[in-house]
Structure 1
Amino acid sequence: MIPHVSRLLELWRIAAHYRLDTLFPAEDLPEKAQRIMAIIRLHPAAWSSKERHNPLKLKLALEEMGPLAIKLGQLLSTRRDLIPPEVLSQLVLLQDRVKPYAVDVLKQRIQDSLKADLNTLFARFDEQPLAAASVAQVHTAALHDGREVVVKVTRPDIRQQILQDFEILQWLGDKLESRLEAARALHLSEIIQDYRQTILNELDLTLEAENTRLMRHNFTGSSMMYVPEVYMDSKDVMVAERITGVPISDTATFDRLGMDRADLAEKGLTIFFTQVFRDNFFHADMHPGNVFVETLNPSNPRYIALDCAIMGELSKQDQMTVARMLLAVMNSNFMQLIQIVHQAGWIPPGTDQDALAREMRRTVGPMVSKPMDQLDFAGILLQVMDIARRFRLEIPPQLMLLLKTLVHVEGLGTDLYPQLDIWKLAKPILTEWVKANMNPIKNIKEIGQQIPDLLLGAQDLPSLMIDSLNGLKNQSAWQERQLREMQNLRLQMQQQQRRSWIFASIMAILLAIAIIAPWYVSVVLLVLSGLLALWRLA
């Protein structure tokens, strides 16, 4: 059964009201997309709509559709290589220019959440929002000691809508998994569940505050990135240090201040790999509204990380797998790439690994020899997903957040410095990391550090062995009891079957006698009653 039909009808109405079917010329769309556009036009809201020529109709529609639609718009806003300029200009506004909600409601929300009067908390509070996004909006203020701060406050009453939309997405994911092998290979339902939890976590600003503090600790004293300090936080409010900078997309300011955009792009990529491999804690929502650059020192600018609500982590095994895969691609060693994927358990038994290596070489090989401005990472990623579908590869859901982040990073890098040689910069970083983590001396030291824990655990070993043996004994007794019960049940079924066969045979004979000689009916009934008595005794 389709969940939340009323919500689906509402989304259809919004798309029709804003005439989203007119965003692109029909002849430029694939056939399936044309069918969707035709469905939009069928809604009565499209017939009387005056929004057809509204230059902001996509932005307004996504705002009205809610947080998940805005998130999609933010992701697409980093892809200048894929989105037409007139559409992109609307999506960029979704990074920090979503329609704000009433300031009176916001003030009361701050006071209720921090349990203090606004005048007690701040010496000054600016009612005009500095930024407004899908989940929260930001206002500037000053503390009583003179420190300038930003106050982030979550939007009220959006949790229920997010839950509804994810139930619809989950239903769609389940349907796609049941019909498409590619969806099963991607573990689409698990990805949707993980992303659901990620977005719900974003509604709790205490988690963002903790993420920000950890990220700040990881980059303390760094010449590459600065993370603002958090002063106060609660579930709905976070008060943090105000920074001075411009969004990463403001290339005009970089040129005006004489910043080295190539150096800035290299710093950004180094920061990304540092987060993924050194810290195993990476920013997974890197649209331009969340990544700023300092302007105080144009000769040596630092990045500024904002909105640490959505963070990614990988297991140690997945970290090593990703690093070795990237190095194999950089070295154009695709047989090694397949071996690494096989060792990770992503390739099902019986797969033609030579054919898979040829497909990866054909698809991924051209990436290594091209600069960033000639790469279509999103397109290559889709081709890789198609290969995964055809060869039935298993792609762990935890890697999808990393792939989403890579799409962001590539989009930002293409805007900042299109000639950036991503492979030349990444190769020494990854090589050094892999060597360090495969160093036998380091591994022996790590084992040595665990010896005290192992010794302490050894004290419990006898009791653990006794518990395990008792568990096996109990399990064996339980299995024997289950086996006896099954044997008894089988015996009862056999007896029941035999009785039923005998009774049916006798009834058939008696019925035939009754038909042939009706005057024997009384005799038949007498015999039948005797048989029933014997049946009960049996």
Structure 2
Amino acid sequence: MIDFLGSSLTVVSVIFSVVVFALFVRRLLGVRMGLLRTIVAAFIAGTLGPAVLEWILPAPEVGQDPLTLGLYVALLSGFVVIMAMAILVIIEALVPDGSLPGPLELWRSGRTRLSRTRRYLHILRVLAKHGLSRFLRGRVHRGVRTAPERRDLARSLRRALEDGGVTFVKLGQQLSTRRDLLPVEFTTELAALQDDAPPVPWDRVRRVLESELGRDIADVFESIDPEPLAAASVAQVHAARLLDGSEVVVKAQRPGISTEVERDLDIIARLARTLAARTEWGATFGLPGLVDGFSDALAEELDFTIESGNMLSVATALRAEGTAGVRVPIPRTDLCTPRVLVMERMAGIPLGAAEERLAALGAERRREVADTLLHVVIEQLLTSGIFHVDLHPGNLLVEADGTLAMLDLGSVGRLGSVTRANVGRLVAALGSGDSLAATDALLELVDRPEHVDERGLEQEIGIIILRFTTAGSTDGAAAFGALFRLVATQRLGIRPEVAAVFRAVATLEGTVTSIDPGYDLLGATRAAGASRIARELTPDAVRASVTHELATALPILRRLPRRADRLADAAEHGRLSLGVRLLADPRDRRFVTGLWHLALLALLGATAGLMSVVLFAVGPGPLVTPEIGVYHVLGSTLLCISVILVLRVLIVIFRRETDEG
């Protein structure tokens, strides 16, 4: 028992000593290092240091005088400390701190990595099955230059995305609206992607509802239909009645869908970065940025509280505009959670199945409904700044009197005031046929490359405007498609919010045609642009605009005469000077200070090293012991200081290179 306690105390004391020594080494090094690697370096140095030093300088005999033994112990301590610091510097150079996961993190991520690997293999099998694996490598593939070849490839891509699962189907649906990136054969084929899915059994849906609401569904709903109204890949919808008698719709997220989407988004992001680095087409399309925007949109779609807030925002904007022909279901916010959405039930039927109802309205009423929808979308884009991105026929309900109801506001676009103003300028310029103003507005909406052929861009936009202004021209898809292709060929980077505008306009083309097959979208757009210009030029609008600008500029104007007088007086008396504060930015001061500290440490280390060499050369000097002189002691001390200072400089250099990389 005593031997066991003695052994345990020995082990504990050794561990304690190693940890304390490791903390001392980390403090002396001046950079915060991982505790595990510091303990490993301290243990290696403490184990091998005495043997290495004895090989360089034999240890004194046991009978030596205490001063000699003390000096050797001090030298051994300094040598072990320097050896531990050197090991840390080498480890930092080879394996930077934070580049490898810790043991606990590695253990936790093991199952995730295994699941991701299986998913990778499944995706690769799907790509190989549909003949798409050749596009994961190489440069330009000349087998897709003709329209039939592109249609075959687009068909294979659509099938592969369908086999890939919900995340890839959503990605394909978003790509179907990017006419600025993909040829028309691809956008047409990808538009056929269906988001249907087999319904989830009611028992599982019930568990989701009770888990999210925190109570039995009988305490919330008077009744709820176990048969879903619709089932999609992300959620399914059930009709229900609340205890107060209100008819509502309950949207419940599929169990486990968030984990699946999160894993697939990580895989898609990794694939995008790899393809952008290794293939020409991946770099041309800017896949990483495209995937980042898609990931953000899909993350919003999976959080039903965001959709609830979007509904309230859009409904408020519609009330402010006084629009009576378009409605948005009002959510019951007290019953909405990230995975459950409860909203009022609308009485209409989906636009895609409402041909008989629309026919009963008559041609004039159908045109009015289409005009109302176009007016609402334009007002959302140019006034409120929050708009429905994916307003396809499946997301609109038609009531008996022609009133429309917007559904599925999980993903909406948001435009700031500057972007809204530029979009308005673009619409107005297209409506008036001003190619110069349209070019300026377009360049304000996109990310300009270093060199832009503005004259050529203006000529191309002028040609596109002819499609808007030519009498009888009604091919809106061709006109907007030409604008998208122009943006792509000019290498103009499209920001996500601007891409959402293009997506909304492209989707609106098919939607208004479903309402009124003969609807002249181009003519209506021209009229909307002209109407907006006329509205901005009314006396009240001009007066409001001038008042706003004056209110903004008035404080500056009031101070301007006094400042001009001061400048004139200073110039007259020769006191006018220009003062520039160097290093006014704290980041600049920190940078210069850091450089100065590194240079000072390097200078002190080099000086200490040179002095130690000189002392060893002129030694031994006055003897401290029969074999050791004062110069040897001082030289050894200065050598230790020199090595420590140089190691501090090196560790900072390695750490900075790692952070910048």
Return the TM-score normalized by structure 1: 0.70
**Aligned position for 2:460:** 359
How far does residue 318 in structure 1 lie from its aligned partner after superposition? 1.3
How far does residue 159 in structure 1 lie from its aligned partner after superposition? 1.6
Which of 185, 191, 194 pairs up with 2:293? 194
SS at 2:584 equivalent: helix
**More divergent stretch after superposition (241-250 vs 216-225):** 216-225
Residues 1:442 and 2:554 are matched in the alignment:
no
Letter in 2 for 1:268: L
CA distance in 1, matches of 2:507, 2:169: 15
Which of 146, 162, 182 pairs up with 2:245? 146
% identical equivalent positions: 24
SS at 1:358 equivalent: helix
**Aligned position for 2:399:** 294
The answer (yes or no) to whether the contact 1:149–1:239 under 8 Å persists in 2 is yes
**Structure 1 residues 113 and 493, CA, compared in 2 at 3 Å: closer, same or farther?**
same
Residues 1:30 and 2:158 are matched in the alignment:
no
CA distance in 2, matches of 1:318, 1:182: 29
**Aligned position for 1:100:** 199
Residues 1:324 and 2:433 are matched in the alignment:
no
- Deviation string for 1:70-97 (max 9, x for gaps)? 3356568999x9789x989974xx35x4
CA distance in 1, matches of 2:462, 2:383: 29
Residues 1:234 and 2:337 are matched in the alignment:
yes
The answer (yes or no) to whether the contact 1:364–1:380 under 8 Å persists in 2 is no
CA distance in 1, matches of 2:177, 2:276: 28
**Structure 1 residues 234 and 374, CA, compared in 2 at 3 Å: closer, same or farther?**
closer
**Aligned position for 1:161:** 260
Question: Pairwise mapping of residues 245-284 of structure 1 onto structure 2 (< 5 A)?
Answer: 245-260=348-363, 261-284=366-389
**Aligned position for 1:315:** 416
The answer (yes or no) to whether the contact 1:78–1:288 under 8 Å persists in 2 is no
Letter in 1 for 2:291: I
Letter in 2 for 1:135: V
**More divergent stretch after superposition (482-491 vs 144-153):** 482-491
- Deviation string for 1:182-214 (max 9, x for gaps)? 876875423321221221121111111111122
How far does residue 420 in structure 1 lie from its aligned partner after superposition? 2.3
- Deviation string for 1:234-261 (max 9, x for gaps)? 1211111111112222352235423433
Q: Which runs of 5+ in 2 are unaligned?
A: 1-112, 134-143, 557-580, 612-634, 643-661
- Deviation string for 1:372-418 (max 9, x for gaps)? 446435742552243222xxx23223211221222211122333334
Letter in 2 for 1:244: A
**Aligned position for 2:347:** 244
Which of 481, 489, 492 pairs up with 2:593? 481
**Aligned position for 1:472:** 584
SS at 2:251 equivalent: strand
CA distance in 1, matches of 2:545, 2:231: 47
SS at 1:249 equivalent: helix
**Aligned position for 2:514:** 415
- Deviation string for 1:406-456 (max 9, x for gaps)? 2211122333334322233223434454676796643454468889999xx
Letter in 2 for 1:322: V
Residues 1:217 and 2:294 are matched in the alignment:
no
CA distance in 1, matches of 2:374, 2:586: 57
How far does residue 115 in structure 1 lie from its aligned partner after superposition? 1.5
CA distance in 2, matches of 1:234, 1:475: 43
Residues 1:9 and 2:121 are matched in the alignment:
yes
The answer (yes or no) to whether the contact 1:367–1:375 under 8 Å persists in 2 is no
CA distance in 2, matches of 1:449, 1:308: 37
Please identify the structure whose Cα radius of gyration is greater: 2
Letter in 2 for 1:408: T
Return the TM-score normalized by structure 2: 0.58
Question: Pairwise mapping of residues 456-467 of structure 1 onto structure 2 (< 5 A)?
Answer: none
**Aligned position for 1:400:** 499
CA distance in 2, matches of 1:312, 1:327: 21
- Deviation string for 1:439-484 (max 9, x for gaps)? 6643454468889999xxxxxxxxxxxxxx9993866764653454
**Aligned position for 1:376:** 478
**Aligned position for 1:334:** 435
**Aligned position for 2:74:** none
CA distance in 1, matches of 2:349, 2:199: 21
The answer (yes or no) to whether the contact 1:191–1:400 under 8 Å persists in 2 is no
**Structure 1 residues 28 and 236, CA, compared in 2 at 3 Å: closer, same or farther?**
same
Letter in 2 for 1:388: Q
**Structure 1 residues 175 and 138, CA, compared in 2 at 3 Å: closer, same or farther?**
same
CA distance in 2, matches of 1:214, 1:240: 14
CA distance in 2, matches of 1:185, 1:18: 23
**Structure 1 residues 477 and 398, CA, compared in 2 at 3 Å: closer, same or farther?**
closer
- Deviation string for 1:95-126 (max 9, x for gaps)? 5x421111100011111111221222112111
The answer (yes or no) to whether the contact 2:151–2:185 under 8 Å persists in 1 is no
**Structure 1 residues 191 and 432, CA, compared in 2 at 3 Å: closer, same or farther?**
farther
Which of 378, 386, 400 pairs up with 2:488? 386
How far does residue 341 in structure 1 lie from its aligned partner after superposition? 3.7
SS at 2:352 equivalent: coil
**Structure 1 residues 185 and 70, CA, compared in 2 at 3 Å: closer, same or farther?**
closer
**Structure 1 residues 345 and 150, CA, compared in 2 at 3 Å: closer, same or farther?**
closer
Letter in 2 for 1:270: H
**Aligned position for 1:464:** none
Q: Which runs of 5+ in 1 are unaligned?
A: 41-56, 455-468, 500-531
